[in-house]
Amino acid sequence: MTSSAASASASDERPGTRLRVDAERNRDRILAAARRLYAREGLGVSMASVAREAGVGKATLSRRFATREELINAVFADRMDAYASAVTVALDDPDPWHGFTGYLYAICAMQAADRGFADVLTMTFPAAKALEARRARAYNDVLELIARAKATGHLRADFTDRDVPVLLMANAGVVSAAGDAAPDTWRRLVGHMIRSYAAPGAPVPPLPEAPEPSALYRAMVRLGRSD
């Protein structure tokens, strides 16, 4: 191929390459913007707000993610993988009761670190099939973890798998209510809940410190202002 022909060929490819690069850059900007907004404000953020945060038009957002569920699936895929990994780690613990209590702290910590993920763990998204497939795989492992913890005699016999989403719902509420004013309040909740799940005589982790009165007051003031 002559140099002029090669130059012409490269010139023909550049517009298409630029379009692909621009499309990928826009996708990355949208995902980064959605992560920031979801982590800060939860899943109630509108698609229009995500577009503004990303600095793209609504049409561009729609081309990359046609629905809210598609965006949520892309944003939280890695976090749902981490959620599934947490129960795998717990199952690998030679002490199933210790693995169980460590798992509860781990998943509640994930909620505390990201308000959007706190919402994801307490909702279902039938259209986000990949996300729900990850959740289903984790659920089966949670059933095994509960059975092993009960076999030690340390987990109450009347504890069921439904108590896990109940805990996550309660923790999501605490994370949202406490906000930045009392960010470690969730630890106290989980500590108390583990005590309620423990059979008589079971070893329980030390109860985390209660939040400072001034921190709780600030959280309550913030809640009052948001109404």
Same-domain pairing of 117 and 176: yes
Same structural domain for residues 81 and 40?
A: no
pLDDT value at position 76? Answer: 87
- The answer on 28 and 84 residing in a single domain is no
Does a structural domain hold residue 6? no
If asked whether residues 30 and 83 sit together in one domain, one would say no
Residue 88: the pLDDT is 94
DSSP 226: H
pTM of the model: 0.77
Joined together, the tokens standing for residue 209 give 């410190």
pLDDT at 11: 45
pLDDT computed for residue 2 by the predictor: 52
What is the pLDDT at residue 9? 46
DSSP label at 42? -
Question: Residue 51's domain is classified under what CATH number?
Answer: 1.10.10
For residue 45, give its domain range: 12-66
Same domain, 51 and 129: no
Number of structural domains (the chain) is: 2
Q: Got the DSSP string for 85-113?
A: HHHHHHHHSSSHHHHHHHHHHHHHHHHHH
pLDDT at res. 130: 78
Tell me, yes or no, whether 125 and 51 share the same domain: no
For residue 227, the model assigns a pLDDT of 55
The answer to whether 61 touches 30, Cβ cutoff 8 Å, is yes
pLDDT in tens, the chain (227 residues): 455 444 444 444 565 676 577 788 888 999 999 989 988 888 888 999 999 999 999 999 998 898 888 898 888 888 888 888 999 999 999 999 999 999 999 999 999 988 888 888 878 777 777 788 888 888 899 999 999 999 999 999 999 999 999 999 999 999 989 988 999 999 999 999 999 999 999 999 999 999 999 999 999 998 887 65
Spatial separation of the C-alpha atoms in residues 21 and 84, rounded to whole Å: 32
Which domain CATH number covers 120?
Answer: 1.10.357
Q: What share of the chain is helix, strand, coil (3-state, %, to 5)?
A: 75, 0, 25
